[in-house]
Structure 1
Amino acid sequence: MKKAVFNWSGGKDSALALQKIIQENEYEVISLLTTFSKETLKSSMHNISLDILTKQAESIGIPLYTVFFAKELNNYDEKMREAVDHFKQQNVAHFIFGDIHLFDVKTYRESKLNPLGIEVLEPLWGKTSEEIMEDLLRSGIKTKIIITQADKLDSSFIGKDLDADLVRLFPSDIDICGEEGEYHTLAYEGGPFKKKVEFLISEANKISHEFKLDDGELKTFEYWQAEVTCIHNL
């Protein structure tokens, strides 16, 4: 089997893609890899804490490799090169991601990793969001919504399990899988997990982030974000 590293977000698409990789039995996933903010110790994309991601990795049975970025991501290339060098010493030539259809994201990953001798694998690539959602709902993977874009999904969606009933409540103008950033999830049971990952959602806070658009314009987006606490099993 070819050795690979799985780039783990902690959410639904990662869980579904990892389950697919495990079932196909072509690659040996020797490690999960998650990127974190050095300041908050939370994951870059889903804002999940290190202790919860560690619990996910323990439940899955694959070790977690952590990469810590500075606030402005000005050390991104350096840190990813260090990670690649670490895994190439273990004969890894493939990094796996759970992207669906954002071509610019896939192209960016390839532009950074291919020159370092790493092939990017996307097991969910090419399916529509509707097909991915059908696969997810059939998979047995359980996830909760932990972040929503405030103008797309209100705070009532925070902490809800992503199931067929909830999906039917989504507005028609959003991507059903949240591929445009409408929502993010935390996976906690089923699929690649051997036991349930226990956590507590205590409240939802409204936060804002400023992003620079392709034309250089700065735009502020508001989000509802869950306060998630890991429950440590005794």
Structure 2
Amino acid sequence: MIFCSWSGGKDSCLALYYGIKTFGKVDLLFTMLHEDCDRSRAHGIKKELFKNQASSLKIPWHFECATWDDYEKVFLNFLDNYAKGGIGIFGDIDLEEHRNWVERVCMQKSVRVFEPLWKKDREKILKEFVDLGFKALVVAVSKKFPHAKVLLGKSLSCETIELIKSLRIDICGENGEYHTFVYDGPIFEKPVQFKVLDIVETETSWLLDLRG
């Protein structure tokens, strides 16, 4: 079993792209949703849109729901039931703490970790994503970086990359500055259809309310 840890955003999508190139296939997309089982926690993407992404990618999608407190337990149960002895694809770039966590939990279930973006130049990652023909929308911005709210609703492009650089935040959003929703690209059969209904404000973020 080869699975991709799937946030629906640019980094997991590019990691998936490399996973398909490296292994020839990916068997499953896996997403951890908020405990209400309606949206993903950081990106705020609704369940229906993950289903639509998976349908266009022609890869089955599986989700689990968890609080922060039981996140690791739920993740380990997923590995035990679906991926034991297999391969997990992750889109980490250089957050050592998260990679260490991934390797620790995966090792418990004999899952090999594949991190194709690890230590790559951040700007090159974004430009490669755009140059390959992927399409993504900024759907979440953290309130820790209020000056970055200007990114909300923008499509990733060369112009947007320059804007991100001018804001003096992490260009890939590795500190949670912003998150994206990928809706088209070379591994998608067709664009994922969606519409923006509103901007939702939470305690920590501004989110676009997307519906399929």
Shift, 1:96, TM fit: 0.7
**Structure with more contact order per residue of length (Cα contacts < 8 Å, sep ≥ 6):** 2
Q: 1:44 aligns to what?
A: 41
Instruction: Report the alpha carbon displacement of residue 67 of structure 1 after superposing the two structures with TM.
Output: 1.0
Cα distance, 1:152 vs. partner? 4.5
Aligned to 2:189: 194
Unaligned residue ranges in structure 2 (runs of 5+): none
The structure-2 alpha-carbon separation of the partners of 1:205 and 1:68, relative to structure 1 and needing over 3 Å to count, comes to closer
Given the alignment, which residue of 94, 106, 109 partners 1:113?
A: 106
> Of the candidates 9, 12, 25, which is equivalent to residue 10 of structure 2?
12
The 1:47/1:177 distance shift into structure 2, 3 A limit, reads same
Give the match's secondary structure for 1:28.
coil
Match of 2:152 among 150, 158, 168: 158
Deviations 1:128-165 (A, max 9, x none): 21121121121100000001123344443221101111
Corresponding residue number in structure 1 for 2:209 = 227
TM-score by length of 2: 0.91
Partner Cα separation in structure 2 for residue 226 and residue 44 of structure 1: 13
Match of 1:127 among 112, 120, 130: 120
Write out the 4+ residue segments of structure 1 that deviate beyond 3 Å after TM superposition: 152-156
Tell me, in whole angstroms, the C-alpha distance in 2 between the residues paired with 1:136 and 1:59.
18
**Residue 162 of structure 2: aligned partner:** 168
Counterparts of 1:134 and 1:8 in 2: how far apart (Å)? 20
Classify the secondary structure of the residue corresponding to 1:29.
coil
Distance 1:174 1:154, change over 3 A: closer
User: Would you say how many aligned residue pairs link Structure 1 and Structure 2?
Assistant: 210
Unaligned runs of 5+ in 1: 210-222
Name the structure with the higher strand share: 1
Deviations 1:105-148, CA, capped at 9 Å, x for gaps: 10111112212211211011120211211211211000000011
Distance 2:46 2:95 in 1: 25
Instruction: Quote how far apart the aligned CAs of 1:174 are.
Output: 0.7
Distance in 1 (CA, whole Å) between partners of 2:24 and 2:38 is: 29
User: Whole-Å Cα distance in 1 between the matches of residues 176 and 189 of structure 2?
Assistant: 29
Within 2, Cα distance between the matches of 1:88 and 1:104? 22
2:25: which partner in 1? 28
| In structure 1, distance between residues paired with 2:3 and 2:87 | 6
Q: CA RMSD in A?
A: 1.7
* % identical aligned pairs: 30
Deviates more, 1:144-153 or 1:183-192: 144-153
Q: Normalization by structure 1: what TM-score?
A: 0.83
Residues 69-121 of structure 1: per-residue CA shift (max 9 Å, x gap): 1x3x33223322221122246xx521111111111110111112212211211
- Give 3-state SS (helix, strand or coil) of 2:4's partner: strand
